[in-house]
Amino acid sequence: MQANGIDERTNLIVEEYSTSGRLDNITQVMSLHTQYLESFLRSQFYMLRMDGPLPLPYRHYIAIMAAARHQCSYLINMHVDEFLKTGGIAEWLNGVEYIPQRLKNLNEINKLLAHRPWLITKEHIQKLVKTGENNWSLPELVHAVVLLAHYHALASFVFGSGINPERDPDASNGVRLIAVNNFCVCDLANDNNIENASLRSSSFGMVDSLSELEALMERMKRLQKDREDEEATQEEMTTRFEQEKKESLLVVTGAFDDEMVSMDVSRYIEDPGFGYKDFARRGEEHLPTFRAQDYTWENHGFSLVNRLYSDIGHLLDEKFRMVYNLTYNTMATHEDVDTTMLRRALFNYVHCMYGIRYDDYDYGEVNQLLERSLKVYIKTVTCYPERTTKRMYDSYWRQFKHSEKVHVNLLLMEARMQAELLYALRAITRHLT
């Protein structure tokens, strides 16, 4: 289990099982990274079960609304159960036309956060908090926004890791759900072997992916050296960001215009046709890039969220830092590797697709380190998770362990959640000032 002691992992799983009485596949797959899992479970437990501005049934219903934006029936079903257990009104499960107007009012922000968070303005916030019988207080709204962002991002993880429903001993065929993801990698939870399942067994395939790994490590070394030799100018950095942003337009994940949304899922959302549109689309030039320096999680988002919904800021902050700094200093069969550069490229590429730019980051690195098949995978998992296929998962980094690919999915999930939160919290800050 790499640096993660098997014992630590077992203890955590046992503990989680004893608190919730069940061990879902998300927990099992995440337990490949116990330090992260602990942090994840702590913040999720806090959002769903601890004291907070929103009543418990509301929290689970908001989780359902968020998961429905990506047709994630795995999460929907999980929270339908929880919603009823916490005293939710069964009629609400017939669809959004049966819920109170207050909850209905979240439809718009749910939709924008899930697919185009850069469109969220202070006007959206004002509409929700304006006085009236259906208004939201700011603490309630922050709680709702955190839940929405959490479940949009978690849907990315579920689809990206191919997580399928658990078998239900009470159901006649053992499985309770109709919709099933395109592939299941729940055996990831038991992945101790070095060869990735996707590795073609022919010796040719082996050589192929080995040289791919060597080439990646070579590029990391070269970039490190270039960086030490000379700093790129601010102007070059801006140009490279713009280039990367435009290039992300060309990363196409396949034509899916006529996607069918099952009735089961569509009842929980309005405007099912609304989806991700590239931030960099021409004709939308009026959209200013979000300069990370102007509104950062560390200096702005964190304190705002903590002020309005106490302690959640600390928990989220710990989770973001944990995933960003998580490393075992290994890459496939290699030990003692500094993977900082690679982790940063993954995180910043997600933010780049969401129009967020870091002044101090050279986006040339993204191009050097993330090959095309990986970019297609990242874009799909982050922007249209429901389209992820096993082929996409298998097509990148064929020499890496499953646990390393799960690590990639954790980074994508947290980068996405942070991007959504930054846009929403910035709009709330503008409303307040």
Residues designated as active site? 72
DSSP code for 29: H
End-to-end CA distance of the chain: 49
Q: Which helix (H) or strand (E) holds 290?
A: strand 290-291
Local structure of residue 374 (DSSP, 8 states): H
- CB contact at 8 A, 314 and 342: no
Angle formed by the axes of helices 122-129 and 402-432, nearest 10°: 70
Closest CA to 136 of 157, 172, 105: 105
SS (H, E, C) 304-368: HHHHHCCCHHHHHHHHHHHHHHCCCCCECCECCCCCHHHHHHHHHHHHHHCCEECCCCCCHHHHH
Cβ contacts of residue 276 below 8 Å, gap of 6+? Answer: 115, 116, 383, 384
Cβ contacts of 382 within 8 Å, gap of 6 or more: 156, 350, 353, 412, 415, 416
Report CA dihedral (6, 12, 13, 18) to the nearest 10 degrees.
150
Tokens, residue 48: 């769903």
User: Which residues lie closer than 8 Å to 224 by C-beta, 6 or more apart?
Assistant: 341
Tell me whether strands 356-357 and 290-291 are parallel, antiparallel or unpaired.
parallel
DSSP for 79-126, please give it.
Answer: HHHHHHHTT--GGGGG-GGGS-HHHHTTHHHHHHHHH-GGG--HHHHH
Distance, in Å, from the CA atom of 100 to the CA atom of 241, rounded to the nearest integer, reads 43
Long-range contacts of 130-134 (CB under 8 A, 24+ apart): 134/100, 134/101, 134/102, 134/105
Task: Count Cα atoms within 13 angstroms, Cβ side, for 18.
Answer: 6
Q: How many CB atoms lie within 10 A of CB 205?
A: 14
The number of beta carbons lying within 10 Å of the beta carbon of residue 428 is 24
